[in-house]
């Protein structure tokens, strides 16, 4: 298994842990992504993209299942990231694991998937 | 369509991306720090981008420019105090547009524009459900308020009433908090006057007629009545788009009207009525009517109908096409219409409150009808208190006081609030053949109460404001 060079985010209320499994990069987000998470998240996602490109990753899975809240500023980082994925020459798929009990996730992620409907998918797991 | 040299297209791309950066920066400054200087920049850049994208042939970008202007208008009405959803929608729109600008022609596979437009319509519909004229006394709503259909709200109201009753036992703490959160989520909106909220469209419709060189009398007959603010918001967005459609698609130029034997000046009539608890809004014009054959051809051209279904499509099916996001009988969007989002926005908004949208049309004109039912908010009731219980009670006045009954309900016992009550007053009410008696601390007095959290008729009570205090509006028939 190739090593990945992405330090985790571990804050009081929010954390982001990245792991690599075969050809799939996983990011698990937990807690509440408010104003304090904006900068770390906006730094993290370009690193994820760079690492996915370096490793030739086929899929990046973003786990929102335990993410209770994300403010619009944090979500904008994902918009930037998906735009990067969409415009990259070597594309990889992005799957969001969404908690169907959280309406904000469903709506925002659906809108995000419209940017690259052939690359982005959303999977829900009952909470 | 004019094909521009690549150099011109690249110049447009560069300029458009710069405009989008400035729009996003101005929006962020406005919403985060209230910096109003960026407002003019934002509107100007969006307006310029709209014109340039139309000229160069970036129809999708032009379509989103119109949507962005709708978003800015809504936000401006609210002094840019918008929720997270709305803020994100604006940013997503500018980023989506940037992506479309950068895309080479024919490489739009994977981009779901109709899906994105549908999302924006949802955000807009949610926002207009809370018009800026809502009274300050209204319970503070979270910017993330979820719209819950009335039927679901009533079913959830049963649980909310249980929480209210438990909270009434005076335990405080989490139960009080839980009751307040449920109340904020489920309570019926405040009543607001409808007429002033719709009247504003008169001047803008006259201005639009002038701009398009059309001539029409515009008559508003709105009545004087109050409506819950959620319905006001929906009727507001419905009237905006239906009027624009009537003016741009309906009313013909005077010369064409004369050739058809019509008076040179058209007529547009807007009427609203409240009959019992149903509000109706009609927008009628004596214009050219819906061209169903053009709708059929357009549906075929967009790939939404195949040849066979296009040939067999009924008028009702063609009307359904009109409401779909992205559909317009115009092949090019103008500044007024052709974006294919207006009727979809109306349909989405009306459906969201369980309302109905109908249209009848012929070459003599078109008549749109919006119907929405709402619960009665203010009701006449007999109000009373029971010793030992902190909340007041009420019974609707369709239950009339009577003298005879032998069975009396002790509400403290019936609701699990303690008891037996040491009330000295016993009174009875009758409706039809049913009689129910109560033990109380006072003789009931007649008053007007405001329903807060409603429940279906199988529930024993609802929560209402009784003489300014939250209490229970009882269903006596459920208590025996």
Chain B residues in contact with A75 (beta carbon < 8 A): 88
Mean pLDDT of all residues in B351-370 = 89
Nearest-CA distance A74 → chain B (Å): 10
Q: Is the ipTM of this complex over 0.85?
A: yes
Residues in Cβ contact with B130 at an 8 Å cutoff, skipping those fewer than 6 apart: B141, B145, B229, B230, B233
Confidence of residue B334 (pLDDT cuts 50, 70, 90): very low
Determine the pLDDT at residue B330.
54
* E-only strand ranges, B305-405: 356-362, 365-373, 378-384, 393-396, 400-402
Task: Please tell me the least confidently modeled range out of A43-52, B12-21, B166-175.
Answer: B166-175
Query: What six digits make up the tokens of B221?
Result: 């007959």
Confirm or reject contact between B98 and chain A (CB < 8 A): yes
Nearest-CA distance B337 → chain A (Å): 24
Confirm or reject contact between A98 and chain B (CB < 8 A): no
Determine the pLDDT at residue B412.
87
Q: How many helices (H) and strands (E) does chain B have?
A: 16, 16
**Which spans in chain A are helix H?**
38-55, 72-87, 103-113
Among B85, B96, B144, select the one facing A115 at the smallest CB separation.
B96
pLDDT single digits (tens) A19-32: 998 889 999 999 88
Per-residue pLDDT for B184 more than 70?
yes
Contacts 24+ apart (CB under 8 A), B294-298: B294/B329, B295/B321, B295/B322, B295/B329, B298/B327, B298/B328, B298/B329
Determine whether the interchain pair A114/B87 forms a contact, defined as Cβ–Cβ distance below 8 Å: no
- What does DSSP assign to residue B200? T
| Residue-by-residue DSSP string for B236-276 | HHHHHHHHHHIIIIISPPHHHHHHTT--SSEEEEEEEEEET
- Residue A36: other Cβ atoms inside 10 A: 15
Per-residue pLDDT for A47 more than 90?
yes
Per-residue pLDDT for B144 more than 60?
no
Confirm or reject contact between B110 and chain A (CB < 8 A): yes
Chains A & B: contacts with CB separation below 8 Å = 62
Per-residue pLDDT for B250 more than 80?
yes
Among A71, A111, A116, select the one facing B119 at the smallest CB separation.
A111
Confirm or reject contact between B91 and chain A (CB < 8 A): yes
Determine the pLDDT at residue B279.
93
Per-residue pLDDT for B103 more than 80?
yes
Identify the closest residue of chain B to A70 by CA–CA distance.
B84
CA B385 – CA B412 distance, rounded (Å): 11
What is the reported pTM?
A: 0.51
Chain B residues in contact with A121 (beta carbon < 8 A): none
Three-state secondary structure call for residue B433: coil
Among B88, B89, B99, select the one facing A83 at the smallest CB separation.
B99
Determine the pLDDT at residue B133.
44
């Amino acid at each position: 298994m190739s090593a990945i060079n992405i330090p985790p985010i571990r804050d009081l209320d929010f954390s982001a842990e990245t792991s690599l499994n075969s050809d799939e990069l996983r990011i698990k987000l937990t807690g509440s992504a408010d104003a304090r998470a904006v900068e770390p998240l906006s730094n993290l996602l370009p690193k994820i993209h760079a690492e996915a490109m370096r490793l030739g990753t086929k899929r990046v899975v973003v786990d929102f299942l335990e993410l209770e809240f994300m403010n619009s500023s944090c979500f904008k980082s994902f918009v930037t990231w998906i735009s990067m994925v969409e415009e990259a020459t070597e594309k990889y798929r992005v799957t969001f694991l969404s908690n169907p009990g959280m309406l904000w996730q469903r709506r925002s992620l659906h809108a995000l998937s419209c940017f690259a409907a052939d690359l982005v998918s959303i999977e829900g797991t009952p909470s | 369509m004019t094909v521009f040299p690549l150099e011109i297209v690249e110049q447009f791309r560069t300029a458009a991306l710069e405009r989008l950066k400035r729009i996003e920066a101005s929006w962020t400054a406005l919403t985060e720090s209230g910096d109003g200087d960026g407002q003019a920049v934002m509107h100007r850049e969006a307006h310029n981008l709209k014109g340039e994208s139309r000229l160069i042939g970036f129809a999708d970008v032009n379509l989103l420019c119109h949507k962005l202007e709708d978003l800015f208008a809504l936000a401006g009405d609210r002094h840019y105090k918008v929720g997270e959803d709305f803020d994100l929608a604006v940013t997503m729109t500018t980023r989506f547009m940037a992506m479309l600008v950068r895309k080479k022609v024919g490489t739009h596979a994977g981009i779901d524009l109709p899906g994105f437009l549908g999302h924006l319509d949802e955000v807009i519909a949610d926002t207009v459900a809370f018009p800026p004229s809502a009274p300050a006394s209204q319970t503070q709503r979270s910017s993330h308020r979820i719209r819950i259909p009335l039927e679901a709200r009533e079913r959830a109201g049963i649980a909310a009433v249980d929480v209210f009753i438990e909270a009434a036992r005076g335990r405080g703490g989490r139960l009080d908090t839980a009751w307040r959160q449920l109340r904020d989520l489920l309570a019926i909106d405040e009543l607001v006057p409808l007429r002033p909220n719709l009247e504003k469209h008169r001047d803008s419709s006259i201005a639009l007629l002038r701009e398009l060189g059309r001539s029409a009398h515009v008559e508003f007959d709105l009545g004087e009545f109050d409506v819950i603010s959620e319905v006001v918001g929906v009727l507001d967005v419905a009237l905006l788009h239906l009027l624009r459609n009537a003016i741009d698609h309906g009313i013909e130029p005077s010369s064409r009207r004369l050739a058809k034997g019509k008076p040179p000046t058209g007529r547009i009539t807007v009427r609203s009525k409240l009959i019992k608890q149903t509000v109706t809004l009609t927008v009628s014009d004596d214009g050219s009517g819906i061209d169903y054959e053009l709708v059929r051809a357009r549906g075929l051209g967009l790939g939404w109908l195949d040849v066979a279904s296009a040939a067999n499509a009924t008028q009702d099916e063609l009307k359904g096409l009109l409401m779909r996001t992205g559909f317009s009988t115009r092949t090019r969007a103008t500044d007024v219409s052709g974006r294919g989002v207006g009727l979809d926005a109306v349909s989405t908004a009306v459906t969201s409150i369980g309302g109905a949208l109908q249209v009848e049309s012929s070459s003599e004109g078109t008549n749109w009808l919006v119907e929405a039912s709402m619960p009665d908010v203010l009701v006449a009731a007999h109000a009373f208190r029971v010793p030992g219980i902190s909340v007041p009670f009420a019974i609707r006045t369709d239950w009339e006081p009577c003298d005879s009954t032998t069975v009396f309900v002790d509400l403290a016992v019936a609701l699990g609030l303690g008891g037996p009550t040491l009330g000295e007053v016993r009174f009875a009410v009758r409706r039809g053949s049913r009689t129910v008696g109560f033990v109380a601390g006072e003789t009931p007095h007649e008053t007007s109460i405001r329903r807060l959290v409603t429940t279906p008729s199988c529930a024993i009570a609802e929560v209402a404001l009784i003489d300014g205090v939250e209490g229970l509006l009882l269903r006596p028939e459920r208590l025996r």
